[in-house]
Structure 1
Amino acid sequence: MMMPSLFAVVLVFVGVYALDTTTPKPPGPGEGQPPFPGPVPIIEVKDVGVIGGKCSYGGLMLEPTTLNLMKEPCEAWTCDAENYTVTIQRCGDFQVPQHCELEAALEAFPSCCPILICGGI
């Protein structure tokens, strides 16, 4: 159990955060494929452990309100220690049309998200 004075200090250091969840505009005629072919799913994990004002999740200690860009899994994690939650942003889901394939880089999110590459018929 946290002592009241320590709890107050933790609350002072916990800020408000917001994730940009806008979906990129579809490409116009002659433009390339969008980096995210679909909406970016947002998942909220509740009741995560909080130790010393940091979220304990996935074997990591996450600083509050900091966007943690992951390679494996290809996700972005944000800790909200005040509400005991971690918000996870993932790559969009989509179907691969004929004559197309997925290509992904071994980099941190969002660069690790697959990109749709379509060739000629």
Structure 2
Amino acid sequence: MPSPVGVLYAAAVVVAFCHISDGSISRVAVPVKNGKCAYDGHLLSHNYALDRQSPCEKVICDTKQRVVYIGLCSPVANPENCEIRTREERYPYCCPQPYCGKP
């Protein structure tokens, strides 16, 4: 049975992602070096959230569980006569969005 602290922490991670994106959240095991999560060339402190541009994702470190939680962009529908565009910014602003031009 999960500990109450573990359940609360998991809930906090979900809340951190919910207000930003309704995309998927992955949990990835990572090595911990000097008390920090080692992920894709970055060393992240416990509970640190890194908003990345490429790839467009939010990464949160959990050194106690030895994992990072990765929030990805939501899938986007492409309405007729529109195109999908991305911006050169950090997550969530880099997520693809439909652009339909000016009315």
User: TM range, normalised to the smaller chain?
Assistant: 0.7 to 0.9
Matched, 1:45 2:41: no
Aligned residues: 92
Match of 2:13 in 1: 18
Larger Rg: 1
Q: Distance between the aligned counterparts of 1:88 and 1:65, measured in 2?
A: 12
**1:114 shift after superposition:** 1.3
1:94 counterpart SS class: coil
Check conservation: 2:76, 2:97, Cα contact below 8 A: no
Q: In 2, distance between residues paired with 1:97 and 1:61? A: 40
* Structure 2 counterparts to residues 1-121 of structure 1, below 5 A: 16=9, 17-20=12-15, 21-22=17-18, 39-46=22-29, 48-119=30-101
Does the Cα contact within 8 Å between 2:76 and 2:98 map onto a contact in 1?
Answer: no
Mapped to 2, the partners of 1:41 and 1:109 lie a distance apart of 13
Q: Which runs of 5+ in 1 are unaligned?
A: 1-15, 25-35
**TM-score computed with the length of structure 2 as normaliser:** 0.76
Does structure 2 conserve the Cα–Cα contact (< 8 Å) formed by 1:23 and 1:40? no
